[in-house]
Amino acid sequence: MRRPAPLRRLGSALALLAALAAGASPVRAQDAAAAQIEAARAFAALRSAQPERMPRLADAEAGPVLRALADPRALPAEGAQADLAAVSDTCDRAQEASLAYLSFGAMQNGQFVASVVAGNAAAYQDELALLQPFLARCIARQVPLAEATLRQLDPKLVGQLRLGGLKRGQTGVLQLYAGLATALGDARFGPAYVDALLGALAEAAPAHARALSVASRAVPRSLAADQVARAQGERKAAWQKVLGAMSDTRCEALCELAARNGGR
C-alpha cells in the first residue's frame, strides 16, 4: 500500500539526514546547512502525519530531525562571509519550529489562548533547549552580514530601507529574553533549559545589542541587572555579559535603522 505523501517525504528526508550523518567527519558546513533544510521538511512531514501531537526529541524519528534543525554547524563561522538571505532563511526555519511548539493547541474556539504558551514552553523545554539557543546564535550571525550590506549601500538608499529580516530578528531576540524570564520564575523549567538559553544569549549579546535600538535594550538590561544580583557562578558571569552588552548606548548602522523603523 502506498504511504501518505507526508510519510513519503519524511522517509526521504530521514534517509538524507542519515546519509549526511554517516558521511565524512567532520560534517562540512554546507552539508549541515543542506541537512537543516531537509530537517525542516521532515519536521513539517512529522507534523502533517501526526497533527494531534508535537514531535519529541526522545522519538526515534523526530530526534535526528530536531538535532539537524538546530545543528550549529549549519551556521557560518563567526567572521566568515556568507549570504545574508540564506542565513536569514536558516534562522526562520528554527524560529518557525520554535513557534510551532509554543503555539501548539493555543487556538481554541477561534481564539488564541495566551496562557497555553507558557505551558507549552514548559512541556516542550527539551526541544526548545535545542531550537532557541540555535536561533539566538543564528540571529547574531546575521548582524555583521547585515552591517556589511548597509556599508555597501548609498546612504540615501539606507534611509528608505525596510528590512523585514531585521525586524524579525529584533522581535525574536526580545521574545527569547521574555521566555527566559518566564522560565526563571517557573519551577516547571529545569536548569538544562535555562542554562542552554542563557549561555547562547550571553554569547550573542554583543551582536544582538548592535541590532536593537537603545530603547529596546532596556528589557534585557533590566532582566540582567536583576539576575546579576541574584545569580552565582557561571550564571552570574553569563548575566554580566548580557548586562555589559545591553548597557552600551552606542547606536550605529542596524541600531539606527531599527530606531528609524519604529524600534522602541
pLDDT digits (tens, 9 = 90+) for 55-81: 999 999 999 999 999 999 999 998 888
What does pTM read for this prediction? Answer: 0.88
Whether the per-residue pLDDT at 11 is higher than 50: the answer is: yes
- The total of other beta-carbon atoms located within 10 Å of residue 23's CB is 12
CA 18 to each of CA 14, 58, 65, 181: distance values in angstroms, whole numbers, following the listed order: 6, 17, 10, 37
In the Cβ-directed half-sphere of 204, how many Cα atoms lie within 13 Å?
A: 30
Question: How much of the chain exceeds pLDDT 70, in percent?
Answer: 84
- The total of other beta-carbon atoms located within 10 Å of residue 138's CB is 26
> What pLDDT was estimated at residue 5?
55
Q: How confident is the model at residue 150 (pLDDT cuts 50, 70, 90)?
A: confident
Which amino acid is it at 197? L
What tens digit of pLDDT does each residue of 22-45 get? 554 456 778 899 999 999 999 999
90 or 167: which leads in pLDDT: 90
Is residue 82 exposed (0-12), middle (13-18) or buried (19+ Cβ within 10 Å)? middle
